[in-house]
Structure 1
Amino acid sequence: MTDKIGYTRKGDIAVLRISNPPVNALSHAVREGLVAGMDRAEADDGVKAVVIVGDGRAFIAGADITEFGKTPLEPFLPDLCKRIEDSPLIVVASLHGVSLGGGLEVALSAHYRIAQPSAKVGLPEVHLGLIPGAGGTQRLPRLIGVDAALDLITTGRQVKADEADRLGIIDEITEGDPEEVGLAYAEKLVASNAPRRPISEMEAPDPIDWDAAYDGTLKKGRGQISPAQAVRAVQASVELPFHQGMQAEREMFMDLMRTDQRQGMIHAFFSERAVGNLPELKGVEPRALQSIGIIGGGTMGAGIATAALLAGFNVVLIEMKLDASEAARARISGNLSGALKRGKISELQFKTLTTVALEVSINYDSLASVDLVIEAVFEDMAVKKDVFGKLDAVC
């Protein structure tokens, strides 16, 4: 056992609690601890079922991103999932928060799944240029069918508990403490002599037109390889015995690991997170936002101005010429008239927004005191350079 996995026994049920803040990522210590926890439960005389539950705000949010690029250490995730699924005990995954990527693959290796109403599940690996690599493309189609599995795997979208329940990913939704909910469900399964239910032993789903699905997914992905490759991995789940399908999935996963696309998408993943944590911004209080300047009063600029006004901000909109400024004012008034007719604002609010909160001007000096400026001018670089030159003088 490791300090990342707690082991307790409640009657004839063993509870494995994952504790790897903040989101219980599948680090080496977590994988190692779960294997040791399964070993301990099976050696613990009288234990009939195991409940796997996450501490904190999630079941398992996915892979440990701090291990990206490092040499992986055993037990590898596919082996952990096989170890859980092969247990002679009934294994229940009690889900809350998010169960994504490897987190959902661990849950799919359990024999039963129960979830909180607010839980979300998904296989987002395609957003990193990969496919699920620990049985996601092999188990999910057996559980919910090819079409539904392809939708989730090739888009990487997350689904809420109610949709996951309708699809058949989870077996029951119950609100409460995840451990208590999981225990009660496991006790019910044991009392009713429910069988183990490994997904790997379920029948393979019906085939589809694989080439058409591959071509359509590749076209929809605009050249991204991983979603289309996921189609071939799901195809393997239909055409091959489970263990051979797992081998095929792993080979495809490792091939994608070596692609430039995967490297670029991983780089973007880390870069997006880095820019949200700039050391220069430590301790800096954001400026209070009360007034917004918008340059350009066309369809886009007027729409942004309308949204800002309805959100409670004062707006200064700049246009180049007087007739253009009046046209912009008319667009915004028209938008707000629609809100008035739908009952979203009162007549008094309409008058206040169009006369007090909104200023339309052709003078850049009007932007001197705004807190934020949004540029929404014509897509022409010379025009944009002119705009930012003027902004530089007043903001």
Structure 2
Amino acid sequence: MSRDTAQPSVASALHDNILVLTLDNPPVNALGVEVRRGLLAAMDSAADDPTVAAILLVGAGRHFCGGADIREFGQAPQAPALPAVVKRIEDSAKPVVAAIQGVALGGGLEVALAAHYRLALGSARLGLPEVLLGLLPGAGGTQRLPRLIGARAALELMLSGRHLNAREALDLGVVDRLAEGKDALAAGLAYARELVDSHAGVRRTRDARALGDQHLQREQINAAREQLTHKAKGLLSPQNIIRAVEAALDRPFDQGLEQERRLFQECLDSPQRAGLVHAFFAEREVLKAPETRIAQPRPIEQVAVVGGGTMGAGIAVSALDAGLQVTMIERDQQALDRGR
């Protein structure tokens, strides 16, 4: 038996005593304001409903959640903010399960981390790629993930922006179970019923203990900071990610969240973030130009290299090796002779 109601961009259906909340904001169920409002309202309603024993979060279509809604970039923020929604999910007195298909990226993974249990289909991909936009996870990701899988693994994921496949996520402990097939709803309902039948209680990620060995975790944070001086010198968001994870080690959870928010805002206000977001949109706009669908690369027979220093000379050699005619330009004959 099921009972259906609807919130804007979040569908709600009661399957016996499991309340299924489906994020529905095509194409990737991004966390726009209507989805955030719908999730918050549905969680509040479930708390007061005695027929609900557990809550299952799923995504409509092919994906769980692709993260922030890029259509809101550059606009004034609208309530509720994602950290408030994530907190409401984790604070639930009833078990919350996230069943992940497709992608759970950025804020989408932060929503899943706030759930008490996580299941992923074998084709799922998970990640916190905010660093690629000059940002950091701003809804508790820098505080929950290290507590769940340790500082080194959490930093590697956040500093690289890469995606985990489902098996990697299971091996690291980001998810609790893999499911066969392509039906996240069916797999999630089976897992949720199993948890209810076994009287499993809530299990909040903020209480996870992977940061227990403080000396080892601090060594791993310092090693990441040392690597950063060579790989990403001068970039703000990687530095702030490390500082946020350090706060997870040094501060109580709520104080860590406050530090994360300050560091997130610092990134948000930076020209680096503005430049990377501009590039993000520019890359997508280029793909819309009709010429890109029919354009063919032009043949290149000769190139000019301005500057014959270490880099310029290397480029010139590579072009010569490719069979091209190369003209090198320098400011004077002496510099040109060195380059030659």
Shorter-chain TM-score: which interval? 0.7 to 0.9
Query: Is 1:89 paired with 2:36?
Result: no
Q: How far does the alpha carbon of each residue in 1:109-134 deviate from its partner, in whole angstroms, 9 at most, with x for none?
A: 00000001000000000001111100
Amino acid at match of 2:324: V
Alignment equivalent of 1:183, drawn from 182, 186, 189: 189
Tell me the CA shift for residue 213 of structure 1: 2.9
- Within 1, Cα distance between the matches of 2:25 and 2:326? 48
Q: Deviations over 1:150-173 (max 9, x none)?
A: 100111111100000000000000
Question: Which position in structure 2 is the counterpart of 1:198?
Answer: 204
Segment of structure 1 superposing worse, 34-43 or 264-273? 34-43
Pick the aligned partner of 1:148 from 148, 153, 171.
153
Measured after TM superposition, the shift of residue 227 of structure 1 is 1.1
Q: Is the 8 A contact 1:218 1:227 kept in 2?
A: no
Deviations 1:169-225 (CA, angstroms, capped at 9, x unpaired) = 000000231111100000001111112100112236033234443232232114322
Counterpart of 1:77, as a letter, is L
Distance 1:32 1:381, change over 3 A: farther
Deviations 1:359-393 (A, max 9, x none): xxxxxxxxxxxxxxxx87366467xxxxxxxxxxx
Aligned residue among 293, 315, 324 for 1:377: 324
Residue type of the partner of 1:122?
G
Structure 2 equivalent of residue 369 of structure 1: none
Q: Relative to 1, partners in 2 of residues 1:381 and 1:116: Cα closer, same or farther, differing over 3 Å?
A: farther
Which residue number corresponds to residue 276 of structure 2? 265
Tell me the distance in 1 between the aligned counterparts of 2:251 and 2:257. 9
Alpha-carbon separation, structure 1, partners of 2:9 and 2:207: 30
Structure 2 contact 155–224 (Cα < 8 Å) conserved: no
Structure 1, gaps ≥5 residues long: 297-327, 329-374, 383-395
Counterpart code for 1:286: I
Task: Indicate if the aligned counterparts of 2:244 and 2:260 stay in contact, CA closer than 8 A.
Answer: yes
Cα distance change, pair 251–19 in 1 and its aligned pair in 2 (3 A)? same
SS of 1:218's partner is helix
Contact 1:204–1:237 (CA under 8 A) maintained in structure 2:
no
Q: What's the C-alpha RMSD, in Å, of the aligned pairs?
A: 2.2
**2:239 corresponds to 1:228:** yes
- Give the AA of the match of 1:219: H
Does 1:44 find its partner at 2:49?
yes
The equivalent of 2:71 in structure 1 is 66
Q: How big is the shift at 1:273?
A: 0.8
Deviations 1:66-97 (A, max 9, x none): 00011111110111000000001100000010
Q: Which amino acid aligns with 1:377?
A: L
Query: 1:217 and 1:122 mapped to 2: Cα distance?
Result: 20
Change (3 A) 1:62 1:379: farther
User: Is the CA contact (8 Å cut-off) linking 1:126 and 1:154 kept in structure 2?
Assistant: yes
The amino acid that maps onto 2:257 is: M
Whichever residue aligns with residue 192 of structure 2, its letter is: A
| Distance of aligned partners of 1:39 and 1:380 in 2 relative to their CA distance in 1, 3 Å threshold | farther
TM-score, normalising length: structure 1 = 0.72
Flag the 1:124–1:378 CA change in 2: closer, same or farther, 3 A. Answer: farther
TM-score, L = length of structure 2: 0.83
Q: Which amino acid in 1 is paired with 2:237?
A: S
The 1:32/1:376 distance shift into structure 2, 3 A limit, reads farther
**Whole-angstrom distance in 1 between the partners of 2:141 and 2:326:** 44
Asked which structure has the greater CA Rg, the reply is 1
Question: Structure 1 counterpart of 2:20, which letter?
Answer: V
Q: 1:276 — aligned with what? A: 287
- Structure 1 275/189 Cα, relative in aligned 2: closer, same or farther at 3 Å? same
Deviation for aligned residue 1:3: 2.7
* 1:330-385 C-alpha deviation (Å, 9 max, x unpaired): xxxxxxxxxxxxxxxxxxxxxxxxxxxxxxxxxxxxxxxxxxxxx87366467xxx
* Aligned pairs for 1:211-360 within 5 A: 211-278=222-289, 280-281=290-291, 286=294, 295=301
Return the alpha-carbon distance in structure 2 between the equivalents of residues 219 and 270 of structure 1: 28
Between the aligned partners of 2:101 and 2:326, the Cα distance in structure 1 is: 45
Q: Secondary structure at the match of 2:64?
A: coil
In 1, Cα distance between the equivalents of 2:23 and 2:262? 29
Q: Distance in 2 between matches of 1:61 and 1:376?
A: 44
Contact persistence 1:214–1:229 (CA under 8 A): no
Letter in 1 for 2:294: P
Unpaired segments of 5 or more residues in structure 2?
1-5, 303-320, 330-340
- Find the residue that maps to 1:148 and give its secondary structure: helix
Q: 2:80 aligns with which of 71, 75, 79?
A: 75
User: Are the equivalent residues in 2 in contact too, given 1:154–1:217 (CA < 8 A)?
Assistant: no
Checking the alignment, whether the CA contact within 8 Å between 1:294 and 1:376 is kept in structure 2 is no
In the TM superposition, residue 41 of structure 1 has moved relative to its aligned partner by 1.7
* 2:109 aligned residue: 104
How far apart in 1 are the matches of 2:266 and 2:8?
A: 34
